[in-house]
Chain A
Amino acid sequence: MSTDISAHIALNRFGYGIRSGDRPPDDARRYLLRQMERFDPKPAAIAAREDVSAKPGEILEMLRRLRRERQRSGGDTAMMDMSMGDEAIPSEVRQSYMSAGRFLRTDIALRTNVAIGSDTPFAERMVHFWANHFSVSAQKPGTHYQVGAHEFDAIRPHVFGRFSDMLRAAVLHPAMLLYLDQFQSVGPSSRFMQFRRRRQQGIGGGPQGLNENLAREIFELHTLGVDGGYSQGDVTEFAKALTGWTVSGIGRIDRFAEDKPNGAAFVAPAHEPGARQIMGRTYRDSGSDQALDVIADLARHPSTARFIAAKLARHFAGDEPPASLVAKLEKDFLATGGDLASLTRTLVEAPESWVAGPVKYRQPFEWLVASLRLCGVDDLDFRRISGALDQLGQLPWRAPSPAGYDDLEGSWAGPDALFRRVELAERLARNVRTDTVLEHAERAFPGALSDHTRTWLARAESGHQALGLLLVSPEMMRR
């Protein structure tokens, strides 16, 4: 007997699971495609977010001022690297870091609650897929206010738009410029450096030149992939093209700053003059446009198409996705020049995306959002949401590297990680109405609930226990 499990796949493989009180969709593909039209890039909760775009500049300026004061009194000059662990941190800095940490936690809760309450959960999954592709992490001073904005302003508007637009917005957003050190990269022959040399300003007094971190990661992680055909020379040249791109509101060079989208800025005197040679193409010196021209070419490069196709297929169709699906996505990306609506449609319409049986182990964020949707809990305190995600090992915007969180089963299916889900599941289930857990389970996994799970849910000692078990059931752990 074969059962139609397409509704189950649409809900769980493509979405964040069923929401308490909802019915499974009748037409699974249509249900997904409709979400692309109905998706709201800026729902009310995100629109109501406080404007904190000036904060990173303020924090960096505060740190610079304190550093100058310390230098004058002959103290430690490594102030830009202060962490909460240091004893000697002035209370002004400590206060500022605590406010930043609190703001970050409210953004984490905002992201999570939008997904929990969403009636376009597939679209939210796409947002989080792309946000992880362009991963930014709140670790350096100033970034705590910007990582949420990065997803809300640079990712969400473009998930069904053009890849080139998302790429440009994501890599030139202040969150990325700060995270990957671009904001202080200065052209070695720029007017700024020439001025410094004339003044004989020595070491330790601010940016001294080039930093190639962002250039390398754009090639490796955001576009071409590590074997995409670029060399160390290309990295250095691209880094030079990117010089001048920084965030507004910092340093003495701010008066030369030309405002760019989302709080970024271009400081022409810090830009390395001259044409650049990158992967066999020449980019004339067009100031801030020089980097944009490179980025535009990278966005439609065949290596980029291949890299994105494989990554998207891996996220939805398994750690080892079918080569035929990767080929379809690659072809679509190349044919449309990176139209993400078309790419998403191709993903949904491909039969490879609909194979029976789970193909992926749910990541912690997916599991928590699906659990809270299933329980109908949409009012958890922001501290508890970020605390739970921290304990589960996947705090948004805190990935350990610019590659984002890993998308392979081996990274998540660990003994300790499973134990934590069990601990949290029992706690979550304790405060939820639980008189109809079995019916709930049938609706959550239509056609896909195993007899074994059904049996143990039925035998549970209480409704709370049954719901807890449902949250950690094999059906819930995979999609």
Chain B
Amino acid sequence: MTMNLNRRTMLAGSLALSAGLTLPKMAFAQGTGSKKLLFVLLRGAADGMAMAAPIGDPGFAALREANLGDYESAVRADTMFAIHPAFERVGEAYASGDALFVHATATAYRERSHFDGQNMLETGGASPYAARDGWLNRLVGMIAADSGTEPPRALAIAPTMPLALRGDAPASSYAPSALPQASDAFMERVGLLYEGDPQLGALWERALETQAMAGDSDMRNLRDAEAAGELAASLMNGEGAAQIAMIELGGWDTHANQRGAFARAARQLDTLLGAYRKGVGGDWNDTLVVVATEFGRTASLNGTGGTDHGTGGAALLMGGAVKGGRVLADWPGLAPSQLHEGRDLRPTTALESVLAGALAEHMRLDPARAMAQLFPGRSASPSSGLIGV
């Protein structure tokens, strides 16, 4: 008969046994240590004009005629914007002042390749492939350097490490697995086998730590958005928890029949964010959720009921301290002459400024320095007044 040991206990035990390791102490500088950050990356270019539809703009109806029905009974964010009806829980957070949309925003990227666009959004570099590490990883290093303590625990809730979290600062990755668990004895031997290999040794050490943090889970994958949101919250709760986490959502590249496809993706995001908020519980005031995508989509629907790769889009900030309940936009207008290259929403707010400003205010970092380190080579200044302090 097998002994029914708790996975957390077993792994912590085997960890100590095999390599004589102790878990890093979780000590954080005053003010930063209790702050949580969840970065949600929407891969595939989420349509900002579907998220928060500029129904008050006289040009909108003609551009999106086929999809107007979605907004007939949608929540009005203000006189200009309506929130997509799939964003139920985001809408509630908006109503209670905990959610902020930033519109007509984009990184400095002005071409239309997903891969280069995601590269810039994740590395924070001033051009694609200019930086090799991710801005979220540099944020971990920056917090550690500022506080003079152990770096905050950073975790990708994904089977592989997304570029935004790759770099010199320690970070781990975790996703629920449907594989049979390896035996304690085997894992111990693997630890010994990897002692002579710096790369595999370090990966293995982090894998064990994260497995111990995750504990027992019935989840087998991340496809259930509700469970994924709960998992993210639980991995960021309690002792040894991650302070900074990242999760990715796909399904946003809506080239055809966008109406259903976007609603489905938006429901997933909304469910995840709702479950995460619930799971975070009383720590919501110390939590910032940042939702961003590589670029927006064409202002007009294309020939197949979808939208093609565009430029300006929307981002979303959520959290108890977010100065929400508003859509922040220097609205460029939707008339043909107002569109970027005659086809895309013109970006008027640098996404990098929004990210650097929000993170700095949330994590109590110097905004100018955050901008320079996370998004080097930009002329724009970090935004301010996004988070209440």
Residues of A within 8 A of B (CB): 76-83, 85, 180-181, 184-186, 188, 203-204, 207-213, 216, 220, 226, 232, 387, 391, 393, 400-401, 403, 410-420, 422-427, 450, 452-453, 456, 460-461, 465, 468-469, 472-474, 477
Name the one of A77, A410, A424 contacting B161, with C-beta atoms under 8 angstroms.
Answer: A410
Binds A, one of B106-114, B282-290, B374-382: B106-114
Q: Are A226 and B113 in contact (CB under 8 A)?
A: yes
A410 partner, pick from B166, B253, B303, beta carbons under 8 A: B166
Q: Answer whether A78 and B259 are a contact pair too, CB < 8 Å, given A391-B179, A422-B187.
A: yes
Contact B43 A181 (CB under 8 A): no
- Give B18-53 as 1s and 0s: 1 = Cβ < 8 Å from A's Cβ atoms: 000000000000000000000000011000000000
Q: Does B66 contact A (CB under 8 A)?
A: yes
Most chain B CB neighbours (cut-off 10 Å) among A85, A211, A232, A422:
A422
* Residue pair B181, A423 in contact (C-beta under 8 Å): yes
CB of A477 within 8 A of CB of B200, answer yes
| Most A-side CB within 10 Å, residue of B180, B187, B302, B306 | B302
- Known contacts: A210-B303, A418-B203, A422-B186. The answer to whether A401 contacts B44 by CB under 8 A is yes
The residue of chain B having its C-beta at the shortest distance from the C-beta of A203 within the complex is: B66
Considering the chains assembled together, what is the distance between the CA atoms of A68 and B178 in angstroms?
A: 40
Query: Count of chain B residues with Cβ under 8 Å from any Cβ of A?
Result: 68
A80 cross-chain contacts in B, Cβ below 8 A: 256-257, 260
B309 at the interface (CB under 8 A from A): yes
Q: What distance in Å separates the Cβ of A273 from its nearest Cβ neighbour in chain B?
A: 16
> Which residues from 147 to 205 on chain B have a C-beta closer than 8 Å to any C-beta of chain A?
156, 158-161, 163, 166, 172-175, 177-183, 185-187, 189-190, 192-197, 199-200, 203-204
Measured CB to CB, the nearest residue on chain B to A393 is B159
Q: Evaluate contact between A208 and B303: CB separation under 8 angstroms.
A: yes
Interchain residue pairs A-B with the least CB separation, the first 7: A209-B303, A78-B260, A81-B260, A415-B207, A415-B206, A419-B207, A423-B179
Please state if A78 and B161 are interface contacts (CB–CB under 8 Å): no
Q: A468 and B186 in contact (CB under 8 A), knowing A83-B264, A216-B309, A474-B194? A: yes
B384: Cβ under 8 A from any A Cβ: no
Q: Does B65 contact A (CB under 8 A)?
A: yes
- Among B65, B163, B255, residue most surrounded by chain A Cβ atoms (within 10 Å): B255
Bound together, the chains give a CA A78 to CA B178 distance in angstroms of: 33
| Bound CA span A186–B305, Å | 12
Residues of A within 8 A of B256 (CB): 80, 181, 184, 211
CB distance from A210 to the nearest CB of B (A): 5
Give complex CA distance A245, B243 in Å.
51
With A472-B193, A474-B200 given, is the CB distance from A418 to B306 under 8 Å? no
Distance from B84 Cβ to chain A, minimum over Cβ atoms (Å): 14
Q: Which single member of B115, B160, B187 contacts A414 (CB below 8 Å)?
A: B160
Q: Using Cβ atoms and an 8 Å threshold, which residues of chain B touch A180?
A: 255
| Nearest-CB residue, chain B, relative to A412 | B160
- Report B-chain residues with C-beta under 8 Å of the C-beta of A185: 303-304
Any chain A CB within 8 A of the CB of B59? no
Taking a contact as CB atoms under 8 Å apart, the answer to whether A203 and B65 are in contact is: yes
Task: Knowing A181-B256, A416-B207, A427-B179 are in contact, say whether A81-B304 is a contact too (CB < 8 A).
Answer: no
Q: Which of B114, B180, B203 contacts A415 (CB 8 A)?
A: B203
B237 at the interface (CB under 8 A from A): no
Question: Given A185-B304, A416-B174, A420-B179, list of 12 further CB < 8 A pairs?
Answer: A81-B261, A203-B65, A208-B301, A211-B308, A391-B178, A415-B203, A417-B173, A420-B177, A423-B177, A423-B179, A456-B189, A474-B194
B positions within 8 Å CB-CB of A: 43-44, 65-66, 111-116, 128, 156, 158-161, 163, 166, 172-175, 177-183, 185-187, 189-190, 192-197, 199-200, 203-204, 206-208, 210-211, 250, 253, 255-257, 259-261, 263-264, 301-306, 308-309, 341
**CA of A186 to CA of B301 in the docked complex: distance in angstroms?**
14
User: Closest chain A residue to B196 by CB distance?
Assistant: A452
Task: Give the CA-CA distance A207 to B305 in the complex, in Å.
Answer: 7
Contact residues in A for B181 (Cβ distance below 8 Å): 423
Q: Is the CB of B306 within 8 A of A400?
A: no
Note all chain B residues with C-beta closer than 8 A to A472: 190, 193
A11 to B194, CA, bound (A): 23
List of A residues within 8 angstroms of B309 by Cβ: 216
Q: How far is the CB of B157 from chain A (nearest CB, A)?
A: 9
A-B contact pairs, 5 of them (CB 8 A): A181-B256, A412-B160, A417-B159, A423-B179, A465-B189
Contact check, A416 vs B65: say whether CB atoms are below 8 A apart: no
Contact A211 B302 (CB under 8 A): yes
Q: In the complex, which residue of chain A has the Cβ closest to the Cβ of B263?
A: A78
| B69 to chain A: closest residue by CB | A77
| Bound Cα distance from A403 to B113, whole angstroms | 10
Q: Establish whether residues A416 and B173, one from each chain, have CB atoms under 8 Å apart when the complex forms.
A: yes
Task: Point out which of A210, A403, A416, A427 has the most chain B C-beta atoms below 10 A from its C-beta.
Answer: A416
Chain B residues positioned under 8 Å from A427 (CB to CB):
179-180
CA of A230 to CA of B111, assembled, Å: 11
Determine whether the beta carbon of A416 is less than 8 Å from that of B160: yes
Q: How distant is the Cα of A209 from the Cα of B161 in the complex, in angstroms? A: 39
CB-CB under 8 A for A416 and B182, given A80-B257, A456-B189, A474-B200: no
- Which residue from chain B places its CB closest to the CB of A78 in the assembled complex? B260
Residue with the highest number of chain A CB atoms closer than 10 Å, among B187, B193, B210: B193
Say which residue of B65, B163, B207, B302 sits within 8 Å of A418 (CB atoms): B207
Whether A465 and B185, one on each chain, are in contact in the complex, defined by CB atoms closer than 8 angstroms, is: yes
Determine which residue in B178, B200, B304 has the highest number of CB atoms from chain A within 10 A of its CB, and name it.
B304
B159's partner among A188, A216, A220, A420 (CB-CB below 8 A) is A420
